[in-house]
Amino acid sequence: MPLTDVFCRNVKPSEKPQKISDGGGLFLLVESRGSKLWRLAYRFNGKQKTLSLGIYPAVSLKDARDHRDRAKELLARGIDPGEHKKQEKRKKRLEAGNTFETVAREWFGAQKSGWTPGYADRILRRLEADIFKPIGRRPINEIEPPELLDAIRQIERRNAIVLARRLLQVCGQVFRYAVASGLAKRDPSQDIRGALRSAGPKKHRTALKEAELPEYLAALDAYEGDRRTVLALKLVLHTFLRTSEIRFGAWSEFEALGSERALWRIPAERMKARSEHLVPLTPQVKAILQELKRLSGNSPYILPAKTKEGVISQNTLIYALYRMGYHSRATVHGFRGTASTILNEHGFNRDWIERQLAHAERDGVRAAYNSAEWLPDRRKMMIWWSAHIDGIVKREA
């Protein structure tokens, strides 16, 4: 006889457990200590099995019957309800552990060895600041395009349009890592690429013209800030290196400083193009390094500072330019363009210039990178360039 809710509520325990049938294998197990447990008896592959369906009254009579009916449907399809339940529990545990933040940190750990320390730090800080808060705790396989878009639009609302696009690309890499690892079915970032605000026309980084260099060099010599900042900006101008390549410069990277063959050998992992880069050192650059050595003490870095990274911050040089009156007039990166323009105008071989700028070769046929290529010619060019800068200073003195 089928059970009723009134009966289930009022049945009393006895000295021995009672199995009270509702039909179809469903029964209420009333234990001697008073617990009332739903159980389903069934056979699968000739074996008698029992499936736990919950505790009464948390699981009502109606809910227990619904569970029984779903189990019967699984049996009809040749699926063991007990194993199915275990798989569902396992799936939920995996989903709970595979949040976007967990997977993103795993992806970051797999990728960071191929990045410069500065770039890796920026990626992680941006994820922590802008992505983990809105979607970090969500199971990665449950995140849909509208949810991801809302997180990206929070960045756009700060008018950080370029950053929003870059972080969408990073999120896409995380999702594709999850897909490859079997933690997600698809990459929702692909569906929202057309929904982002336009970044507008590309703005080239401001570069000073040759006629503007005398005023800049005078302002640099008159700068009253930290002496190491002045020397770092001089290194940028004399070597064509990027800010991150200067900031993380280590004394162990310099060779033959006391000779005419002095080199700065920057390892591939510190370069944007991921290829070793050689910078011939001119007498002017060696003089700058000698002064930095006195200021750096026993530090392994040429520009040490009490920061998380152990070197000057990524904004130190640009803020110095601002204080010198060059806000919107010049950028640190722009000095690479200044050098390139002047050297090209003075007839230097374009290949020497491009190799010294460490520009990645776009022509697949010429992509094999030789860090020492045209090194003697590049050294002559760099000597001319440092002398040219000195000449500008002397003419203005």
**Residues with catalytic roles:** 242, 272, 333, 336, 359, 369
What is the chain's alpha carbon radius of gyration, rounded to the nearest angstrom?
34
Cα(345)–Cα(330) distance, rounded to whole angstroms? 20
Count CB-CB contacts under 10 A for residue 14: 10
Q: Of 126, 357, 69, 79, which Cα lies nearest the Cα of 236?
A: 357
State how far the Cα of 201 lies from the Cα of 107, in Å rounded to an integer: 32
- Contact (Cβ atoms closer than 8 angstroms) between residue 212 and residue 338: no
What percent of the chain is helix, strand and coil (3-state, nearest 5)?
55, 10, 35
Peptide bond into 146 cis (omega under 30): no
**Alpha-helix runs per DSSP H in 242-307:** 243-247, 283-296
Question: What is the distance between the alpha carbons of residues 147 and 218, in angstroms, rounded to a whole number?
Answer: 52
**Helix, coil or strand: residue 1:** coil
- What is the Cα–Cα distance from 136 to 99, expressed in whole angstroms? 6
